Structure 1
């Protein structure tokens, strides 16, 4: 067998070389001491977890240059963890590579940890119940079981057990619920409803776990998600203490590889690094092993501003100059000359003897500076030279790393060079993706390339192959081979890869839901990586961004910043815009709008991207109270065609309605065949009819809208449809609360406090009678505060209650507050309507009410309808009468 075939197919000698690569004595000893340090405290694991004040000493870090062997070291440590355990020790481990293309968001990582623990025992009660409550709030209408059981990562970690099934069974048992009724697991089934703490069968959990009730009571799913790890750690601690009582140590080790990907963006509170640090902090009964290019900065003083737990008092072992304590941070140095020699002697052998002559080995070692990837590539270069029958001399070796890569390219056959170039353009690939990029190559060339040790295997990622990131980064820069690609050829190859990715994800863009979120995220990041070469973002990539956002995968949007070079201004700005949208809750609307506005001002932004980023910029302007600026932006965006034009048109119609431009609001044209656009149109038309006093017409439209929401099967849209009808009926049907109550229950579960507050205002209005004024005002008091997000609507309700009770002075005072609370032209019609109610009490009162509402059917008709609402409520039998339509 020639050496090229030998090298391509692998051998036991190559396996030995891998052991040489990872057999770093000092690092392995540090891992052993770190593991022992954590294990020694597991007898009192619950106390360890429940103490959220004490410093944490459960993070081991290995950092160093790319290609130095950190990833292989990490995999070797995990292998030894299970291979060399004593009989009295049980080991569990979880691994996540942040360069793998698999979902790198906090939710996926939490579920990955749960899947690993699920192989040990099926029920982890505190976490399972809290995660079920979280899921309903974060992903309304999306069945958990379908998502979890379709995840390749979770299937790998769960083995034969299904984590979705495990959580479902646990929740049903712990809530004493019959099978098949929980909405988090089955689309269209009955929702969990109410509070978990009110339904839990195992009340002991509430008494014993200090974290359970605060976590499940949190209405904001983003905040809730940040602390779910505390419950998983507490569940694990209970089991660890029981095993310790039996003389058995149960340990969990978490391996995070390619950590530099997490560190690439500007650090911020609630970003991925902060959330992962929280997991480590809240899980002191597990060892976390981080490998990456840079030191971990959690113990730095500067990190206090961007992390929940930071500083040397929180992470004392991660600070500098700590001597020999473990676990701590270790610089992974170069291989010694002795280890490098051993590597090369084992890397290629002939009849049990080193195939590379000693003089060439010495030359390679001198140039490698102990970097294993350099040694490996030099061995490849030597093998390829022999396979060609060329005369190999020591002068062919020892060049700088780019020259070694060039030599590899020169020594490969032309079709192999083409495939290596294709592979360098993405972080992960499969055979068909490479073939799509180079369709004229024979299958045999592809098979040969995939067998080369240049190609690393990632069987559990969304695509199964990749090449080392250092090699990936060097191929294009080092390529000066005779058949090197021109810039046009690189761009054309990237375009072919993009076309293949588009073909694969098109079913998801057509809303079939056929592809799991982590795979979509992987393709999205790869697509953005490729656009750096084509210098153009296809419209479907923006559509995919919208799809990922709609299913809650914000990590994918934020993640593209790490794969786009700053030198490519247009693509980098687009990536920065996506990052800002993903972090808009922590940045705030004003800062997010400022970032997006700066990007939109650039002329190099493509039209569809401008539409998408502009859509979100306008929303941020709305949330900042800058309605006119938002409208101007939407008008400019709606003048061009594109996938997001209907979204922009709907947002424009909504802002027109908010600002009293009612005729403009209903003028927008939507596609009635599209259920979502039909839902928007019914909402705008219904609200305009409602404000104009055509109550029965509005009620009919809102009923149709509820049915449309049911057909879309989106819980948040259904709640929104219920809320709009509740806002109508609270005026026209005294005491009517059914729609509002159902919507409140949904909003509480999915974590939308502003919409929940609006429903509570509707309830207060529905309960308004001539004698209930004080009770209604008391109910409205917390809702009229600016922090509630609905002060205008709450003040309208307060004025209505005062007028129903005949209380002129407080009604006028509330009216003045309403005038001050409104921003610009927003909600001008409520000021006019409230002035009509006050005039019913005393027409001589001077209010100087603003005007400007475009009353579609005339101001007199609207005034008659809204004053009739007040008159009907002031009559003694108003609670039994419905207001008639004009």
Structure 2
């Protein structure tokens, strides 16, 4: 019943259900097989190919490795069937370029298959028996081995009892082929007695004849190592070298009778482990000694034969011996290589296809589409999960009800069993420990597991369910589905963990992350964010005290970069609100970062909810309070912002200087410039004093002093290594320069763009965009249209001051062009934007630009040098640009 899934067939009384073994597209793997075969055929048909060459590198092996349940055995069976009979080849698989003369034989090395080395050798020989003639050199050695190790037991009885006769149609001919080889030798040497005793009593005569290269045995004398193998003790060690004789025999066949054996070795992980490689050593000899055969190995782990460290455990090791098995160290390929291919998960489309074809009734899928979709999503592409879900589907139907989508929110303990099956106790301990982490390195894994040596973690990283992403902070992560199963499924293994074990492991992992963060002397931003993400998730899940996360949170905000912190959704928090201090800190940092992409009203709402929950420790309350006050200022809620900033400043915490800077900004936006300058003198670097002064000087029309202040702010930020503040200062510097020097502004804006591009500083990106409008004022006819686009973007953010700043840029443009009607409309719009009294001095500046008198009801700012001098500066800036525009035209 090839192609039938008997296990599923016997899971239901409903005979209308068609239970088929669904094979899903593995086209990339098939292409690797056909390409490898084509290359191998070109190699063995070269005129200089020598089957007895024992020193040349070997290129005759292709390895498919992958996590348990990924479909390796199914792929192996399908490759064998496709090579044996083209009608069994999937329609999406292209034909090989050499379909004739290929002899595939698949050998399952699983413990359950009962396959020992002797049976492996016999299986290969039985497959070749289909050629119809003896393999003289091999058959002579095999007969001697058999008589020595199985005295009195005919080989045909052994084959019949072991089931090998039924598997190979030509197997019954093997004894006759062996006897034919013996008879030819007996006749050539004129040995007396029966054919069966030819090697029993005549081995010495044959060996002597071979060494003397007599004419009577010239057909065998060409095999230079036959005499040595016949002389050796016919034990298992000698048997492992006999494949050399079989390779030689195949090479002696006439060209039109030659075949290419394709030997598929499945479940290779059951040959042993890294310590016990006895069977692996014997199997490697077959591969090496049969260079004219092509081997396709499937197993959980990649072959390590190209590693020189295995010298002494295996006979042929190192990159020279197996160049195709050398790991590729390029970032995109990592541990893969051209002849070692990690079998990937199914694509979502392949998962759907598998489920649709696995169970059907009257040609239609039995599992309905919503259930198929949820199973495919939860499978993460692992075929074993699909198979287990199919069995669960039938189990639920047997209970008398139709399975629903909610029935497949399920983790299967079998996934754990299959994953842990061939791991050592130490590897299982490390695996459970790192399942708490999204990503890990070997040192992090060792520390999280509480171990004193790296070896178990190093071995674990070589397992196929450990995926590698060299570009990340930590290169390794557990396959998503397996990680979920280990964390959530009922673990029935002997060394399963209790809840207390998991809690202790969470504490170890939490402190391991702290160690990673504190040891990061380079203050790598990626390390900080990675430690925060994983530490917050652990604290939230296991209700840990925040500890070092508080310090890390302040470092995160202090860098002013604002890349998002992405944590999986917490069902409890989403349904019942914030539950723990970790929930509150996650929400705080998320709101702070997301304010660059959300309306400021949303930021205020989220941070207000955090503060109302009372869950944040005292040392972190100021974090939410300060950034709520900043968002309120952006919304124009200046009094609310002022109260928040005063509260944070008076508390004297880590953000007190920042809050005092916020109060200085509030003085500035209300037009009290002397107070802002006086406050800046007390701020220092922590309060970004130079930037505060720059913000004051540009509105006075003193662009030279403003640019100098911003340049000093940028230099100070660079000295402290704060890239976010460096970018902020540069954006403001470009804005100030754009009013008076368009050519220099090009360079400053280019630098600002380069500094801002890797960050997420939306309000400062807007400042740079407005600066570009200021630079082009008077020149660009499309400037109002560009301003309209930017105004729409500002509306999404809720940053009210940016809209007023943009409107001021339009006023500058129309003042330069002396477009009085447009300027009047701009001023009217500007007055609407600042009617709450904050940034109201923008209306004054617009009048200064146009040389217009101020209306009697205009709110007047407290200009540092007085209104007259400020008016002159702004008017001169406009006239200077007007002259520049005229000169260019």
| TM-score, scaled to structure 1 | 0.46
Structure with the larger RCO, 1 or 2 (CA within 8 Å, 6+ apart): 1
| TM-score, scaled to structure 2 | 0.46
